[in-house]
Chain A
Amino acid sequence: MSELLAVEGITKSFKLKRNWFQKKEFIALAPLSFSIESKKTLAIVGETGSGKSTLAKILVGAESPSNGKIFLNGQLLHKQQLKQRCQHIRMIFQDSGTTLNPSLTILQLLDEPLKLNTNLNESQRRQLIRQTLQKVGLLGDHMNFYPHMFSGGQKQRISLARAIILQPQVIILDEALAALDPSLRSQMINLLLDLQQQMGLAYILISHNLGIVRHFSDQVMVMSQGEVVERGETLSVMKNPKHKVTKKLMMSQNFQLKHHK
């Protein structure tokens, strides 16, 4: 299978203003490369300040990298072509309650990306919204509701609908499963896995729940202070973690892989 998304040597540094002569730079991301295939999931784990959210922001285009290139399907993504990028790379945030605009109905919320990125007419857009809502396990009639009428789990489904409505290829889940209740979280995991099979999506999962990472991802990348300290197949990394950051993470969650063939 060919590479869907490839990242080469991405760095990000912020300038700290001290005074004229002592200019200091804070390096949020050291040179970093990885690639991901369709229908695969890459998990990124690490502590706060390890640069995983910065990486996610750079991939969706909310921040521009200081250096490095991003390739999608072998094509270089330019800084200016945000349109192309936001069609193919979408993101779901942690707190679904605050990312949905409370003054718009679900129809208007989901209509916005379609209006901006496609040439569909109104009835086609409505049809697509109805289909997408059904895909994430809601009813088509829910489109006339406002976000406050939904529960937390349903809001997260709406964020997912907003992410998949443009038929993207990569979805970034920034702690998207952390704030959900356990019984809703397993529903969401099942839904995401189904969609991955149906639509051939690639996920980039940012999480610190190692149980979910173990279940959900094919590959894992452990980050610490802007650098990748360990990477590889999820199971093999978790079976014998090498770097001390990985060991510490696993210790702190009393996480041990025992039963594996």
Chain B
Amino acid sequence: MNLLDIRNLSIELKTKNQNILAVDRVSLSMKEGEVRGLVGESGSGKSLLAQAIIGVLDDKWHVHADRFHWRGIDLLRLDIEERKSILCRDIAMIFQEPMASLDPTTTIGEQLAEAIDSKQLSGFFWQKQQQRKEAVIRLLHKVGIKKHIQCIRSYPHQLTEAICQRVMIAIALASRPVLLIADEPTAAMESTNQGQIFRLLASLNQLKNMSILLISHDLENITHWTNTITVMYSGQFVEAGTTEQIFNKPLHPYTRALVDSSPKANLQLPSKSRLMTLPGSIPILQHLPIGCRLGPRCPRAQRACVEAPKVQNYHGHKVSCHFSLKDTY
């Protein structure tokens, strides 16, 4: 059974003049214990999708979906309070800028203690304070912070970015989630620190069987850590498959361009040669092309592309393109 199963989720922004379809019928499914990468450039709606999953979008965004199942429970049928309690219990999220997401006016220890649900603590009320303290220390050890006494006493600005991100992960782990959504956890971080954070996430996945949805704008950064990848472009679903499928046999011209344009993936390329690129730039939300939104930039675009393509499934490798690269392999 799938852990998370979303079909044709659309997110619409209603403004005075026009309605903008920021995310257009995207499907996403996750299995238990899977690390899925969600890749898309800026403006592709990947963060919106994540926010829609945990339900923190405000009222101006309208979310529709054909199916939204969490472990077999249809979340669309539940009322808001029930949905919230399920999502709170099972899903946690970490954000892009750890420094900005932590409260600057309270110490790390207090923020962590706040995140621990009192249902997890057993014992009488006079024991709870002590238990909470121990739970905080255990959480910090879990994310690899050894100097817990120092860390508990300090404020976010006194710690480095990587440690703050670890604290964020610790807060997310406090509720023992089944799914962790990591929205660009390593953006603007040193590469050595990036490696540490990714290794920590990978070990949590292995040891606790926690599923992770890893959101990133860069395909090459996350391929080492993911089992499956979903690619989005400008709010539309592009391609989904296992990491090997995406990297070795990309079916969509956009994925192909992403793989080809990364200098790291093409090490056999002589240095200083031209990289393959797509012409033009990413369309802005107010002026989205009709049909397949890659159309104006796509090397294989033809007349049929003014209509949005249907998703085709080749042995679990899903692609949304009229003229996929399937025949070229």
- Residues on A lying within 8 angstroms of B by beta carbon are 47-48, 151-154, 181-187, 189-190, 193, 208-212, 214-218, 234-235, 248-249, 251-255, 257-260
Given contact pairs A182-B261, A183-B278, A215 touches B192 in the complex (Cβ within 8 A): no
Contact A182 B268 (CB under 8 A): no
User: Would you call the interface of chain A mostly helix, strand, loop, or mixed?
Assistant: helix
Given contacts A183-B261, A186-B276, contact A214 B271 (CB under 8 A): yes
Pair A216/B281 contact, Cβ less than 8 Å: no
B282 at the interface (CB under 8 A from A): yes
Q: Are A187 and B277 in contact (CB under 8 A)?
A: yes
Distance of B165 from chain A, by nearest CB (Å):
15
Closest to B187 in A: A179
Interface string of B266-293 (1 = CB under 8 A from A): 0111011011111001101000000000
> Looking at the complex, which one of B217, B267, B271 makes contact with A182 (CB distance below 8 Å)?
B217
Contacts of B104 in A (CB 8 A): none
CA distance A252 to B190 in the complex (A): 10
B275 and A186 contacting across the interface, CB-CB below 8 Å: yes
Q: CA A209 – CA B267 in complex, angstroms?
A: 13
Binding site for A on B (CB under 8 A): 41-42, 190-192, 194-195, 217-220, 224, 257-258, 261-265, 267-269, 271-272, 274-278, 281-282, 284
Minimum CB–CB distance for A225 against chain B, Å: 14
Q: Are B191 and A211 in contact (CB under 8 A)?
A: no
Chain A residue contacts of B258, Cβ below 8 A: 182-183
> Is the beta-carbon distance between A215 and B191 smaller than 8 angstroms?
no
Contact B263 A211 (CB under 8 A): yes
List 11 other contacts, CB 8 Å, given A182-B258, A193-B272.
Answer: A153-B282, A181-B282, A182-B217, A183-B257, A186-B261, A187-B277, A215-B272, A235-B271, A249-B192, A255-B264, A259-B268
A-B residue pairs, 5 tightest by C-beta: A211-B264, A186-B261, A252-B195, A215-B263, A181-B41
The CA-CA distance from A249 to B192 in the complex, in Å, is 6
Give the residues in chain A near B269, CB-CB below 8 Å. Answer: 215
B191 lies within 8 A of A208 (CB): yes
- How many Å lie between the Cα of A251 and that of B258 in the bound state? 23
The answer to whether A153 and B281 touch (CB under 8 A), given A181-B217, A211-B264, is yes
Please tell me if the beta carbons of A212 and B263 are within 8 angstroms of each other in the complex. Answer: yes
Q: Could you tell me if B267 and A259 are in contact, using CB atoms closer than 8 angstroms?
A: yes
Task: State in angstroms the CA–CA spacing of A252 and B268 once bound together.
Answer: 21
Is B274 a contact of A190 with CB atoms below 8 Å? yes
| A152 and B282 alpha carbons, distance in the complex (Å) | 10
Interface residues of chain B: helix, strand, loop or mixed (majority): loop
Min CB gap B259→A, angstroms: 10
Q: How far is the CB of B193 from chain A (nearest CB, A)?
A: 8
7 A–B contacts, CB within 8 A, in A order: A47-B192, A181-B41, A181-B282, A211-B262, A214-B271, A215-B269, A252-B192
The answer on a CB contact under 8 Å between A48 and B261 is no
Alpha-carbon gap, A235 to B282, bound state (A): 33
Please state if B275 and A215 are interface contacts (CB–CB under 8 Å): yes
Q: Is the CB of B224 within 8 A of A182?
A: no
Report the Cα distance A258→B266, complex, angstroms: 11
Interface contact B194-A252, CB-CB below 8 Å: yes
| B217–chain A nearest beta-carbon distance, Å | 6
- Which B residues lie within 8 Å of A189 (CB)? 263, 275
The CA-CA distance from A186 to B192 in the complex, in Å, is 24
B190 touches A208 (CB 8 A): yes
Q: Quick one: closest A residue to B196, CB to CB?
A: A252
Interface centre among A152, A183, A187, A260 (most CB of B within 10 A): A183
Q: Are A234 and B271 neighbours in the complex by a CB distance under 8 Å?
A: yes
Which single member of A154, A190, A251 contacts B275 (CB below 8 Å)? A190
A216 and B271 contact, Cβ closer than 8 Å, known pairs A182-B219, A186-B277, A252-B191: yes
Contact flag A253-B275 (CB < 8 Å), given A151-B282, A212-B263: no
Question: Are the C-beta atoms of B261 and A215 separated by less than 8 Å?
Answer: no
Q: How far is the CA of A257 from the CA of B263 in the complex (A)?
A: 12
Contact B267 A214 (CB under 8 A): yes
Bound CA–CA A185/B258 (angstroms):
11
- Of listed A214, A234, A255, residue having the most chain B CB within 10 A: A214
Residues on the A chain within 8 Å of B276, using CB? 186
Q: A178 — nearest CB in chain B belongs to which residue?
A: B188
* Min distance, Cβ B253 to any Cβ of chain A, angstroms: 12
CB contact between A183 and one of B220, B224, B265, B277 (< 8 Å): that residue: B277
Q: Which residues of A contact B191 (CB under 8 A)?
A: 208-210, 249, 252-253
Instruction: Output the least CB separation between B105 and chain A (Å).
Output: 26
| Minimum Cβ distance to chain A for residue B258 (Å) | 6
Contacts of A253 in B (CB 8 A): 191, 195, 264
Among candidates B219, B277, B282, residue contacting A190 with C-beta atoms closer than 8 Å: B277
For B217, B263, B269, B276, the residue with the greatest tally of chain A CB atoms inside 10 Å of its CB is B263
In the assembled complex, which residues on chain B have CB atoms less than 8 Å from the CB atom of A190? 274-275, 277
CA distance A209 to B265 in the complex (A): 12
The residue in B42, B191, B261, B277 that gathers the most chain A C-beta atoms within 10 A of its C-beta is B191
